[in-house]
Amino acid sequence: PAVSSLTLTTARAEIGPLRQKLREWGQQYYEADQPTVPDDVYDQQYRRLVEIEERFPELVSPDSPTQQVGGAAASEFTKVQHRIPLLSLGDVFSVDELHGFIERLQQAYPADQEFNCELKIDGLSISLRYEAGRLVQGSTRGNGLIGEDITANIMTIPSIPHQLTRPIDIEVRGECYMGKAAFLKLNERRETEGQPTFANPRNAAAGSLRQLDPQVTASRHLSTFMYNVADYHDVKATTQSELLAELQELGFAINPDYQVASQLATIDAYIAKNQQRRDELAYGIDGIVIKTNSLALQTEIGHTVKVPKWAIAFKFPPEEAHVKLEAIEWTI
């Protein structure tokens, strides 16, 4: 039934099993790195939960998947408490919704707002801590507050500097991913060896990073693009685009395809261009992220318990091959 036709009673009856289903899918995806349903199936159900909670705010509870980031840290790893939480991103699935989000921000904060457009890399969040310029800890996002200590694994990834170009204390955040070529090779090898293959590069990256033996991680050809820092006081940059340049100067790999935009038309063109060249890229992207460019304004706008309010992910529709695969899976 349409969400608009639900009553409080029918909504309450639906919401429990719906949350439970999302929790189980989330555990398989975030904790076991083996999703049991395609992402768009998860996204549709998640979206329904959001709509029900928007219509009946009295049903929102802190244990809802809409109020929680990611999954629990695996017990095999030492836990890392994130001093500043690692958040998720709000998402939209149409240009109209995206325009609505941007226009609401522009109305609420009328001073001329610039946005930084970035590719949404299909990997997993990592956080890297440096002391006096030296890499001391790497961790996963986990549930945003508590992640997994994967320092030894992080040390094997070639794009992550062990020493920065300046001797600063800083916590840098970004995406760890597996390139398309490495992903295909890995799955081929696993198939020959009779091991289960990974559903997609994101899960392959997560499975490769969350390994107890760093040599396994080292053999998986992981890469990174860093795009954020935990504390803006630690950088000279005053905007997101300057921050990316500063991270590059410090020695990090950053994704070069970012663009500052202040007009909706420019943002639309960025989306269209990158959606078109998606297949040509050596790594997977599942959308575009639009961020308020001023770091001071980001801080002023703030965040919810789950997502920053100054950024949004525009998700691409699922790819052809995936749609077919899903159709087969769902018609059986």
CA distance 151 to 7: 50
Contact call for residue 121 and ligand NAD (CB under 6 A): yes
* Least distance CB 202 / ligand NAD (angstroms): 8
* Least distance to ligand NAD, CB of residue 7, Å: 29
**CB of residue 49 to ligand NAD, shortest distance in Å:** 12
Amino acid at 58: E
Q: What x-and-dash track marks residues 228-267 binding ligand NAD by CB under 6 A?
A: ----------------------------------------
Q: Could you give the string, one character per residue 56-85, with x where binding to ligand NAD holds by CB under 6 A and - elsewhere?
A: --------------x---------------
Q: Is 37 among the residues that bind ligand NAD (CB under 6 A)?
A: yes
Consult the annotation and say whether 159 binds a ligand: no
Handedness of CA 324, 328, 329, 331 (dihedral sign): positive
Could you say which residues in the range 295-314 bind ligand NAD, by CB under 6 A? 313
Contact 123, 270 (CB under 8 A): no
What is the phi/psi pair of residue 270, to 5°?
-60, -45
Active site residue 120: yes
Q: How far is the CB of 228 from ligand NAD (least distance, A)?
A: 7
CA dihedral 58→1→314→289, nearest 10 degrees, is 30
Strand segments (E) across the chain: 79-81, 91-92, 115-121, 124-131, 134-140, 146-148, 170-178, 222-229, 259-261, 285-292, 311-315
User: Closer CB to ligand NAD, residue 6 or residue 126?
Assistant: 126
Q: How many residues bind ligand NAD (CB under 6 A)?
A: 23
User: Judged by CB under 6 A, does residue 290 bind ligand NAD?
Assistant: no
Return d(Cα 139, Cα 159) in angstroms, integer. Answer: 16
What's the angle, vertex CA 205, arms to CA 202 and CA 210, rounded to 5? 125
- What gap in Å lies between CA 134 and CA 162, rounded to an integer? 6
Is residue 66 within 8 Å of residue 23, measured between CB atoms?
no
**Side chain identity, residue 317:** P
* Positions in 17-36 near ligand NAD (CB under 6 A): 25-26, 28-29, 35-36
Please indicate if the annotation marks 291 as binding a ligand: yes
Residue 224, helix vs strand vs coil: strand
Calpha distance 278→215 (Å, rounded): 31
Angle between helices 39-55 and 8-26 (to 10 degrees): 150
Q: Give exposure, 64-73, as e/b (b: 16+ Cβ within 10 Å).
A: bbbebbbbeb
Q: Which of 147, 150, 175, 283 binds ligand NAD (CB under 6 A)?
A: 175
Residue closer to ligand NAD by CB (options 25, 310) is 25
Give the Å distances, CA to CA, from 160 to 251, 323, 324.
Answer: 8, 35, 36
- In this complex, which beta carbon is closest to ligand NAD, that of residue 18 or of residue 289? 289
Nearer to ligand NAD, 211 or 274 (CB): 274
Catalytic residue among 120, 180, 236, 273: 120
- The yes or no reply on residue 50 touching ligand NAD (CB under 6 A) is no
Residue 79 known to bind ligand: no
Q: For the chain, how far is it from start to end, CA to CA, in angstroms? A: 24
Q: Is 183 in the site for ligand NAD (CB under 6 A)?
A: no
Q: How far is the CB of 167 from ligand NAD (least distance, A)?
A: 27
* Residues paired with 117 in a beta bridge: 259, 290
Residue 19 assigned ligand-binding role: no
Q: Does 271 bind ligand NAD (CB under 6 A)?
A: no
Interface contacts to ligand NAD, rule CB under 6 A: 25-26, 28-29, 35-39, 42-43, 70, 88-89, 91, 118, 120-121, 125, 175, 227, 289, 313
* Residues placed in the known binding site for NAD(+): 39-43, 88-89, 118, 141, 175, 291, 315
Residues noted as catalytic: 120
